[in-house]
Amino acid sequence: MENKLQEKLIKAAINARENAYVPYSEFAVGSAVLTKEGEIYTGCNIENISYSLTNCAERTAIFKAISEEKNTEIIAIAIVADTKHPCVPCGACRQVMIEFGGRDLKVLMANLSGDTLIKELDELFWGRVNEEILE
């Protein structure tokens, strides 16, 4: 995947983050997915007073893509938050990613300081990235 396209996806996620509805956690996340047709869909986290009904930014972006393009596949996904280390997706989002992206989905994790960590989804399922980040 070209660097320019990666940067475009991360920028789209940063912009989408502005719309995050986060009155409970105040932790805003933005995401952007690239489909196999070359389209970009963005999403932010949308919280709920029940908390469990909260939708993560990644799932918002994926569900927007799937609802707009029947039978599409996701090639890459960017995730951005204002964190010390690049923001890593939660287990529920990884499960949704594998449904529509597969094991070689490119996961571009970033923060607002410009740090990035790029992995294939398969690597995230084994917890290796978490160890790398938390060491």
- Other Cβ atoms within 10 Å of 62 Cβ, number: 24
Size of the site for ligand THU (CB under 6 A): 14
58 is catalytic: yes
Binders in 2-61 for ligand THU, by CB under 6 A: 22, 25, 27, 29, 45, 47, 54, 56-58
CA distances to 35, 68, 78 from 83, in Å: 26, 30, 14
The CA distance from 63 to 67, in Å, is 6
Cα atoms in the 13 Å half-sphere on the side-chain side of 21: 10
Task: Pick between residue 34 and residue 62 the one whose CB is nearest to ligand THU.
Answer: 62
- Tell me whether residue 51 or residue 126 sits nearer to ligand THU (CB atom): 51
Give the contact letters, 54-93, x = binds to ligand THU (CB under 6 A), - = no. x-xxx--------------------x-------x-xx---
- Our CA angle for 44, 6, 100, nearest 5°, is 60
Least distance (Å) between residue 104 CB and ligand THU: 20
Catalytic residue of the set 2, 37, 39, 58: 58
Min dist CB 71 to ligand THU, Å, is 26
- Considering the complex, state which of residue 21 and residue 67 has its C-beta at the smaller distance from ligand THU: 21
Q: What is the rounded end-to-end Cα distance, in angstroms, of the chain?
A: 28
